[in-house]
Amino acid sequence: MAHVALTTGNAEEAEMDRVRVIEEKLWPQVPGDIIEEAKQAAKTEPSWIAMQGNGHVVAMAPPGSPDAATGDVIYIAEVSPMRQR
């Protein structure tokens, strides 16, 4: 799932450069739509892909943000903003 979301189109390397995987074992479980949501959310600051305590994988604001999920959270990946050319 995760690999397919990052390899569509011809910008595969640029897209993967934006993603820093933290939890390699959980990365294959990340749905492609969550990766796309995280990439869209990372306009000016990084976004995170995390697994909440209830088992849901979500895209979320950076840690410390009032919009961030609370409770037990496992950070799976960080998605950086797109580089300007």
Nearest Cα to Cα of residue 83 among 11, 1, 10: 11
Higher pLDDT, 62 or 6: 62
The predicted pLDDT at position 43 comes to: 87
Q: Where are the domains of the chain?
A: 2-79
Token pair 């799932």 in the structure block, residue = 1
Q: For residue range 22-63, what is the model confidence (pLDDT) as tens digits? A: 999 999 999 999 999 999 999 888 999 999 888 999 998 876
Question: pTM of whole model > 0.75?
Answer: no
For 58, phi then psi, to 5°, come to -135, 155
Q: Which residues pair with 48 in a beta bridge?
A: 60, 78
Q: For residue range 72-81, what is the model confidence (pLDDT) as tens digits? A: 888 899 999 9
